[in-house]
Amino acid sequence: MKPSESLNEKSNEADQLPGRLDLPGPFAGPRDSSSPLESAAVGPGLGPADEVFGHHGEVERLPLIVPAINRPASEQIENLLHLRSQAEQGNLSSACLSPTALTGAESPPRISSEQVGDSELTSPILTQPGSELRPSQPISTTGEVWKSLGWLAVMILVFLSAITVGPRVVEQYQYSAARGKMRAQYEAATDMLSKVSMRESALASELVVHRIRPSVVSIQAGSKQRNRSRQPMMRGQGSGIVISDDGMVVTNNHVIEKAEEIIVTLADRREFRATVIGRDVETDLAVLKIEASDLIPAEWGDSDELELGAPVWAMGSPFGLDQTVTRGIVSGKHRRTADNSGDANPHQDLLQTDAAVNPGNSGGPLVNSLGQVIGINTSIYGEFFQGISFAVPSSLAKEIVGKLIKSGHVQRGFLGVSPRDVTHADAIRLKLPEISGARLETVEQDAPAYRAGLRPDDVVVKIGGKSIDNHIMLFRQIALTSPGDETTIDFYRDGELSSAPVQVGVRPLYR
């Protein structure tokens, strides 16, 4: 076969293939079928290969790569010129497609512009010499760019809002929280006040008065001598409290002291002459008896359970004003007052209150919130009430009253010691675990305490199992112990806790 015939046949075959490229100008001419490439190499998405002239008139078949997407003719010509240069240098492998292009794989389907829309568009391009053909990187479309810009704008707006509006939002939140709390407190207070609160408090105070009132009496003490109006000459006036339904009445000793006649006026205005059952100068208490029955006695409470600030009520006849009620709180415990000589009475152990007590209140009751007697009003600070008044605690008064009713007098126990309150320096020096107790300053020889083994600087913390917090409590506990009775004393010596039995003696008359 002649070369021209072979070339014509190949040309006719190529004309029937899609994507054929006819080269004008210098690329036209005879073609030789003896070219080393005897068939067209077709890659995915490419057109068929065409023949071009090689060196010395030889015709070589070179792979002509035609993209599936139409390209400008100038770009196609540049690609063909590059392939020819590679072929002339004998570098046919660089001018050919990759081996996978020769497998005869079908070209991918064409996608129209309507199908592509805003999606990513890729196209195969010619690789550099010595490299494989690979797809290019995705190209973002206009829609995605606007979407990214939108998100960026949102983030900027959020940031600007945080730095401008944020502080005001926080301030408003804090204000709202505070206002909400105040509103809740206001509503709760309104609800509680409408239900209980002051009305119940007032009612409780009224109930306390109603409970104690029938037991409170007015006392007038004087001589049997009559004045021009035929009334007895009165020397003293005070108050008292009924403690039994058969007519036992408790009052202060100084109210009825040296009285020749004592008149007791009950809450129902009945009057009775009273006789003295017993008196105790140390505690300023006295017990009277009236010939009456079916009375309403008061109930004793426990003064040791009182805490500072506990509400109390005082009732009596100040300045002759019967059934007067005042209110206050417990403002102190374990107090002492000076006697007629100006010395503190070691056997006093008083409650302090700010309930108003004036002349005429002496001997009247001090009651707790249950209407129980927790003290007997006995004195004030100064000539008139100045916000401080004193009462004998019920824990002491009840014991003294019991002894007065039984024997008419009080016989106190005796240890033969001079106690003092423990100070901070004492606690360090004597290695005490706490600042509490009664330190023995002196111990008389041959006295009950000395015989029991107690010595100076011993710190008593318990007597008969009852705690001793200060020297007043030591005096009171020993005084309430009957002479001849044996009790146990717990004490610290050089930081060691010890215990010793002691037989309580009888207090000498001069004590």
- pLDDT tens digit string along 466-505? 999 989 889 889 988 889 899 999 999 999 999 999 999 9
- Going by pLDDT thresholds of 50, 70 and 90, the confidence category of residue 197 is low
Quick: pLDDT tens for 96-114. Answer: 444 443 344 444 444 444 4
Rg (CA), the chain: 60
Residue with the bigger pLDDT between 412 and 167: it is 412
**Domain at 413-506: CATH architecture:** Roll (2.30)
Q: Which residues, listed in sequence order, are joined to residue 289 by a DSSP beta bridge?
A: 248, 275
pLDDT single digits (tens) 309-328: 999 999 999 988 888 999 99
The amino acid sitting at 299 is E
Under 8 Å between Cβ of 450 and 416: yes
Please determine, for residue 146, whether its predicted confidence score (pLDDT) is greater than 80.
Answer: yes
Q: Which token pair is 400?
A: 């003294």
Query: 500 and 478 in contact (C-beta within 8 Å)?
Result: no
Hey, what are 67's tokens?
């993209």
Residue identified by tokens 């008896």 is 289
At residue 480, the pLDDT reads 85
What angle separates helix 142-164 from helix 166-195, to the nearest 10 degrees? 50
Cβ atoms of residues 421 and 471 within 8 Å: yes
Q: Is the pTM of this model over 0.85?
A: no
> In this prediction, what percent of the chain has a pLDDT beyond 90?
37
Comparing 49-58, 248-257, 433-442, which segment has the lowest mean pLDDT? 49-58
The average confidence (pLDDT) of the chain is 75
- Does the pLDDT value for residue 384 go beyond 50? yes
Q: Give yes or no for residue 424 having a pLDDT over 80.
A: yes
Hey, where are the domains in the chain? Answer: 3-116, 219-290, 413-506
The residues carrying an active-site annotation are 254, 284, 362
Q: Cβ of 386: how many Cβ atoms within 10 Å?
A: 10
Q: Which residue has the higher pLDDT, 10 or 229?
A: 229
Residues 6+ positions from 345 with CB-CB distance below 8 Å: 282, 336, 337, 338, 339
> What distance in Å separates the CA atoms of residue 305 and residue 395, rounded to the nearest whole number?
10
25: left (phi over 0), alpha (psi -120 to 50) or beta: left
Name 248's bridge partners. 289
Residue 69: how many CA atoms within 13 Å on its side-chain side?
A: 8
| pLDDT at site 394 | 95
Q: Quote the pLDDT of residue 158.
A: 81
| Inter-CA distances, 361 with 143, 215, 255, 268, 315, Å | 99, 14, 10, 19, 7
Give the class (CATH, top level) of 219-290.
mainly beta
Least confident of 23-37, 171-185, 215-229, 329-343: 23-37
